[in-house]
Amino acid sequence: MRQNSTSKLLNIFSNRRSIRKFRSKSVPEETVQKIVEIGQRAPSACNLQTYSIIWVKDLEIKEKILDACWASKQMKNVPVVFVICADVRRLGKTLDYLKAAHCFKQKSGYAIKLMSIIDASLVAENMTLAAECLGLGSVYIGGALADKEVISILKLPEGVLPLTLLCVGYPDEQPPKRPRLPLSTILHINSYRDPSDEEIKTFLKHMDDALRKEGYYQKYSNQGPDFRYSNNIQRKTATEPMKKADAEVLQVLKETGFL
């Protein structure tokens, strides 16, 4: 019996894929709370639990948040939107209550702030897997990362940094599993190994073939049929646009006390 349960869980995890089209059916509140409770069971560095989750229930606020994060039109009917945040403010407030001298008063504590990002990310992944187990689909929207508009809309104070949206609902599509790097490329034994040119060439072809077969970029990014994975990674890392994005993120990190 235990083996069957384990196999079912591993199968759920293995077949997870991002869902960007959701049915308008609402998710019961107790289901949403269960997802968050499972999120809380994720590992936490020193059990400091330096994260917060904002469930955006108000329809007007939800629409503003989705717009701020450049969510596609087909995402607008997603029933559940979480904003996952790294949060050292609550810990600082607790230390203030204890009348303790602490690093956050001195605008330091960067190791803890970095760990808070890890904490929040682990919580988000637990929530994703919980949603899968409950028959729901999900997708992350990275546009929330250190976004000034999201901070303003949600009135996030210093010490709270938005990382991503986690959108959850009943799937209205059944996309194929998306390609991943070969295990031999990401699993290093005893020391790091750079990929060979041949490995890179093979991986790019693998990605292109799978995503082109699905029509992935046409379906989700309004790109033409000749758009490739290699075009995507070049566009996402182009020097000039990234200079502007980096400047904006660094400013937010300073304002929120994370830099």
pLDDT value of residue 4: 83
Domain boundaries, the chain: 16-175, 183-227
Q: What is the pLDDT of residues 22-57, one digit of tens each?
A: 999 999 999 999 999 999 999 999 999 999 999 999
Q: What is the pLDDT of residues 51-91, one digit of tens each?
A: 999 999 999 999 999 999 999 888 989 999 999 999 999 99
Q: What is the pLDDT of residues 127-158, one digit of tens each?
A: 999 999 999 999 999 999 999 999 999 999 99
The answer, as to whether pTM is greater than 0.85, is yes
DSSP string, 91-146: HHHHHHHTT---GGGGT--HHHHHHHHHHHHHHHHHHHHHHHHTT-EEEEEGGGTT
User: pLDDT band for position 3 (50/70/90)?
Assistant: low
Q: Options 3.40.50.150, 3.30.2320.20, 3.40.109.10, 3.40.640.10; which CATH number does 16-175 get?
A: 3.40.109.10
Q: Is 146 exposed, middle or buried (0-12, 13-18, 19+ CB in 10 A)?
A: buried
